[in-house]
Copies of this chain bind each other. A is one copy, B any other.
Amino acid sequence: MNDALRAGVETFAPLYIEVKRLITQGLIEGEWQAGAALPSETRLAQRYHVSIGTIRRAVDELVAEQILVRQQGRGTFVATHDPKRLLFHFFHVVRNDGVKEMPEPEMLAFERDRADTAVARRLNLLPGERVFRIRNLVRLAGEPMILDELVLSQARFPDLTEKIFREREATVYALYQTRYGINVVRAAERLRATAAERASAKLLNVRPGAPLLEIHRTAMTYHNTPVELRTSLVNTAAHEYWSDFGKA
């Protein structure tokens, strides 16, 4: 594109970074929906007036970030939130012997609330903005194992109701993606050990004061924009949190 696309951009970046930004923009604007195929690399090269090598460099990074998926001979696709992706990329609790079990969530409460300063900061909202608070009990192999609370901006999920959330057919992130066009692409997690309070202990079937793993997650969409806060309490008597999935 030789400066054509760069015109008007103050700060110059490598071409492949610009191309990556343009592709991401297309994803944000819904030009390519989840599961859809992108144009072939040849066509993308024509469209952005760069060589195929530059396209490949940009797509390489989006594939590394698990935003796109390449399939040789078929094409390049927008990653979808199927159960497999959830398990491998966003769910890190594993049985002691290494077996991954599919989480089975049950909604306990669905409330409307307002963001305090901490929530506002972490969700990029103003203090006092409306949020949903949703509590779930998650079972593994039928046993209650995780208690979590989600916080979402009402502005971002305008018509979300308790019924929609409870009766969804797929994972929570698939709901965000299909109904609201919000594609969660990354999650940052912070962990600590804590003691079970009476209410949590009862739900998780442990004694009050028992050690639980507390996980604070911020789930993000493109450009690291936060869209969901989640606090999980995990009974790690027979399970562990695996910190390094995926690498080599």
Chain A residues packing against B (C-beta within 8 Å)? 65, 92, 94, 186-195, 209-214, 216, 224, 234, 236, 239-244, 247-248
Contact = CB atoms under 8 A, between A and B. Distances in A.
Max chain B CB contacts within 10 Å: which of A92, A210, A248?
Answer: A248
Contacts of A194: 193, 211, 236
Contacts of A65: 248
Contacts of A193: 193-194, 211-214, 234, 236
Nearest to A215: B243
B244 A187 contact: yes
A214 B194 CA distance: 12
5 contacts: A187-B244, A188-B244, A188-B247, A189-B242, A191-B243
Nearest to A233: B193
Nearest to A241: B191
A236 B192 contact: yes
A186 B243 contact: no
Contact of A192 (B186, B195, B241, B248): B241
A203 to B, nearest CB: 16
Contact of A240 (B187, B190, B195, B234): B190
Given A65-B248, A193-B212, A193-B213, A188 B243 contact: yes
